[in-house]
Chains A and B, each alone.
Chain A
Amino acid sequence: MSAAAAFIVWLGAALLVLSEGRRALALGMALITVGFAVLALAGVGALAASAILVGGGFAAGRRFRSGPDAWGVMPSGSTARVVLAAAVGLPALWISTSVMTGPGAPLRFAALSVLGLMTARVLTPSEPPAVLTALAALALSVAAAAGVAGTSPGPAVYVLAAIAAVGISLIPVRELDGA
């Protein structure tokens, strides 16, 4: 179950990297949210999972309602992004399962994948809706990364990450790109 959830998280992050339209961005965010919620339920508890669901769900909903009205998956010139999605996923898988030891490999894989892919999304030239969606996902992954420790970080970090994701999603995207 945890392994499937981790794969769903990576799939959502890859979709966020590969897409420009609001539908695909919202779907990517929703996949990340569901995956992280399952992992948080297993590792921390229901409150943490609920917080992730609410925060990520709100961010996905907001993105579905604003931005270019299309799927926009893999527009022309996406080859580098496809390579990026794989290039981040494979090392994350190797590090989380082979270099790092102990239980919790799915969570490590999910957290590392989202950290890598969302950072790449923000650092490469992107439209404001994609950047803000990536930032909301990044906030959730920061909380998820806290669960890598042997001891539970408690639900407070997840609640704060959810609040951050909601806050980031509420930023109006118009007039954000000054250049």
Chain B
Amino acid sequence: MEPELAVGLPAVGSVCAAFLRARPRAALLAAGVFGLLGVAAVILTSPGATSDQLGLGLSLSPESRALLIASGAAMALTVVLAPLAVERATLLTWGLAGLAGMAAIAAAGSLELVILVVLVLAVLQAAAGSSRSLATRLRGPVLAAALLSLAAVCARAEGPQYLQRFAAVALVAGLSAALGTLPYMHDFDPDERTSTSPIPWIAFIGPVLALAVLARARELIPSEGGVLGAMMIGLGLLNMVWGCVASWRTENGAAAWHYSFIADWGLVLCGLGLAIADGQSAAILLLYGIVLSRLPLYLWSRQSLREKRPNDRPINLLAAAMLAGAAPFAGFAARVLLLRGATQLYWPLALAIGLALLLWLPPSLRLGRSLGLPRGRQAWGVGIALAINVVIGLYPQPFLALAGL
């Protein structure tokens, strides 16, 4: 199966759903069929095989393919078990547009293609309208596009060695701007719809985008891997501490969730920056957790957050444990791998990460409570998200093998 289908089928599904929005059932059916075919195309695509039918040299890496499958599963879960107040056809329209963009980013053969897709996705999202101004909505992705382009120019131009280091700085800064992590946090409006907010960038598109940018970075600046890794670890530690403390102390519940994504990305950046097998495995497990568990839980917490009815039932405590990375959830396995990798590289780093991990507990308890008392579809959704996370935590190897690790 060719990667072009993995891009094209979800895109067609999204367009169909947009055209049929006056007839929500038909829209849901058409988008659902194309979405399933798109995910099937991703599953059937051979990782690493290059397709040059469009002259673009499209190829899916095993890591990107694994995260695309996880994203498809997360989208199916959130659409099927969407709260009653949410229009599922609209959710599917935006989800499939994002999935098509992610497949294009994952399959892109050059950094320029990745940047162009990021620009198009940013404009599509901004065109949907929001309470934030157009310039504010576009700020993060456009800055990312400019920084990544600058990195490509610096890496490819002939000149002194420090140009390569500038390229490394611009790549990390561009990635941070695209994701919305420190120091380029996207402006977040707690009352905004999720599809037009910065959440899709940090929780849905971000994982695949980060892997794609780093894969291109290894080709562009092979001699500056150490510099790239050191910057990512530094930014990772900063995001961990800032994200956890802000998630704990901020007054608004939705903003607390936004900061919690930033904290998790701190761990992911550290894992990717370690550039050893344990670090990569930890990062992939954390990304699975963001896409398959944290994002769906955030979506199901929105109604409870609006109604301001937190709860302290066992399900809330379980969700808090999952968000905190307690055993037997996936976050625990990821944290163990991360600490082991950091110890191999430089033990004081493991100590710093270990201390930062303690900060996860207070915000996770708060976020778990913010789910309220899940009922009906929402209860099923929370249960399934927790179960998936436990399975990944107890049996991480098949999921890592899917990502080629």
**Contact surface of A with B, Cβ cutoff 8 Å:** 99-102, 108, 111-112, 115-116, 118-119, 122-126, 128, 131-132, 135, 138-139, 141-143, 145-146, 148-150, 153-157, 160-161, 164, 167-168, 171-172, 175-179
Contacts and interface: CB of A to CB of B under 8 A. Distances in A.
Contact of B113 (A149, A160, A176): A160
B115 to A, nearest CB: 5
Given A100-B158, A139-B119, 9 more contacts: A116-B146, A141-B149, A142-B112, A146-B110, A148-B153, A150-B156, A157-B56, A157-B110, A178-B134
- Chain B contact residues (Cβ within 8 angstroms of A): what range? 35 or more
A112 B150 contact: yes
B152 interface: yes
B156 to A, nearest CB: 4
Contacts of A157: 56, 110, 112-113, 116
Interface string B137-167: 1110011011001101100111110010000
A28 B113 CA distance: 25
Given A99-B163, A161-B116, A125 B153 contact: no
A123 B156 contact: no
Contact of A179 (B54, B55, B136): B136
A156 B153 contact: no
Query: In terms of DSSP, what is the predominant structure of the interface of chain B?
Result: helix
Given A148-B157, A154-B55, A123 B134 contact: no
22 contacts: A99-B163, A102-B157, A115-B146, A119-B143, A122-B135, A122-B139, A123-B139, A132-B123, A135-B119, A135-B123, A141-B149, A143-B116, A148-B153, A153-B110, A154-B55, A156-B54, A164-B116, A168-B120, A171-B123, A178-B130, A178-B132, A179-B132
B126 interface: yes
A100 B110 contact: no
Nearest to B55: A156
Interface string B220-233: 00000000000000
A118 B55 CA distance: 28
Given A148-B157, A171-B123, A125 B134 contact: no
Contacts of B119: 135, 138-139, 142, 164, 168
B112 A153 contact: yes
Contacts of A116: 146
B129 A176 contact: yes
Contacts of A160: 56, 113, 116
A115 B150 contact: yes
B133 interface: yes
B344 interface: no
Contacts, number: 125
A149 B155 CA distance: 9
Contact of B120 (A100, A143, A164, A175): A164
Nearest to B148: A142
B153 A119 contact: no
Nearest to A161: B116
Query: In terms of DSSP, what is the predominant structure of the interface of chain A?
Result: helix
Contacts of B130: 178
B134 A131 contact: yes
B157 A171 contact: no
Contacts of A176: 126-127, 129, 134
B153 A112 contact: yes
A145 B133 CA distance: 29
Contact of A142 (B55, B116, B131): B116
A99 B165 CA distance: 14
A135 B137 CA distance: 13
Contact of A101 (B56, B139, B146, B159): B159
A102 B134 contact: no
A151 B129 CA distance: 41
Contacts of B149: 111, 115, 141-142, 145
A16 to B, nearest CB: 14
Contacts of B134: 128, 131, 176-178
B153 A108 contact: yes
Given A108-B153, A112-B150, A146 B129 contact: no
Given A149-B156, A178-B129, A138 B112 contact: no
Contacts of B131: 178-179
Interface in B100-128: 110, 112-113, 115-116, 119-120, 123, 126-127
Nearest to A146: B112
